[in-house]
Structure formats: structure tokens, C-alpha cells
Amino acid sequence: MEDLVKEWPFLFQENGIRLHFRELTGVDITLNFDESTETKLKRILRYFQFQQSDPTNTAGAVLSKDLAGGDETCAAVLMLLAHFREKQEKMLVAVDDTAIASEVDVKNLPSTPCIVACGNSPLTAKTFMVAVDQVIVNEQLPIFTKALQFMFCSYYVQNIDYPVEIAATLEFLQRCIFKINPDKGTKVKRKEKGRQHAANPRVLSLITKIANFEWTE
């Protein structure tokens, strides 16, 4: 990965990775994401907010505890991770708010693409980095939405399977937010045992529930 960053720096800049992602998928990730931010992400937050009374709803507990004053896009991602009971540290890693790339202990990062948030919480961090294969590939992302797009694009540009620990959250983002809905095939790392679904039933169920959810401001 270090050699790739040196030889193809354009792929690790915002414009470069978006253009290559569009060449690979036919999807304009910025356009799709902006549209989803205005509608679907807010709906996701409101859906989980209305589930807080359910004692089994871990996402609601995260919402009531952490959302105040934080980035709503980040909050929606945290809700999804909590709902699917997946490992936040496989996607989001917090470091000191003044940390630079050379100071990050990359050995503690997951090998798959992840967001490094410079601050106590990704909800309130002011600077973000993205790492792939335990290498910081971009350290100049000013807001969470840019870091999320960059991380997601990396899975496609680098041809990396979704890790099973956060597969449902990534597939939900893929289908609901980034609007990539293949008829067959999956980017989830293949299981050694058990049936491999083309689409996670839990993801499809949540998408349906949120689509049918009605709320008013």
C-alpha cells in the first residue's frame, strides 16, 4: 500500500478516488451521497430516535447518549453499527485531536479501510484521516462526510471485501445511501461455513422499515 500511494498519488486524493470509483461503478458518489444526506440519513436518525423506548434497541441508547452537538451523518453511522451489533473499532478509530499521520499507531488499525478521527469522539472530531491496510492514505479530510465517502470508495478502488465484523453496516450504506444495488453478488468476505446471501436479510429488513417510517418535524 505504501508503494501504491507513492506511485499513484492521484488515487488517494478526493477527486482522484471519486473519479476512479465512478469509472468502476458508474456511480457519482458525491451526487448520490448529497441527495441521501438531505433525506435518508435524517430519516435513519429519526427512526432510531423513535425506537429509544425499546429496551432492546442498542442504537437508541447510543443516540440518546452521544448525539447532542455532534455530526448527524456520523451519528447515523454509529446508529447503524449499534443496530447491527457490529464492531465500531473496525470502521472508526479515535486518536488525539492534534495527532498527525506519523504519530498514529497504525499497528492498532484494522487492515481494511477505516476512518481515523482526530478527537475524543468521531461525532465531534474536526479532522479525519483514512487508512487502508494499516497505512494512512489521506490525512487532510476536514469533515466526516468526506472521510466516509473516501473510506467507502477505497473498498471498490482497492478491490477489498467488506469485513464480516461491519459487513451489514457497509452493505446498508452501499444499498441505501450510495445506491449501489447489484442483482447478484456481494462484497462481503465469504464465510468459511454457512449460507452466503446475495443481500443480507437484516439489511433489507431495516431498509424497508425506514422507508415505511413516517415522522414529522
| DSSP state letters, 104-145 | S-GGGS-SS-EEEEESS-TTT-SEEEEEETTEEEEEEE-SHH
Mean pLDDT of 177-187: 72
Q: How far is CA 46 from CA 110, 157, 204, in A?
A: 30, 32, 18
Q: CA-CA distance, 128 to 161, in Å (whole number)?
A: 23
pLDDT > 90: percent of the chain: 48
* Neighbour count for residue 205 (Cβ, 10 Å): 10
Mean pLDDT of 91-118: 94
**C-alpha closest to that of 89 among 107, 72, 114, 58:** 114
Higher-confidence residue: 90 or 25? 90
Mean pLDDT of 195-217: 80
Asked if residue 48 has pLDDT above 90, the reply is no
Kindly report, residue by residue over 73-101, the tens digit of the pLDDT.
888 898 899 899 999 999 999 999 999 99
Asked if residue 128 has pLDDT above 90, the reply is yes
Least-confidence region, from 39-43, 74-78, 152-156, 169-173: 39-43
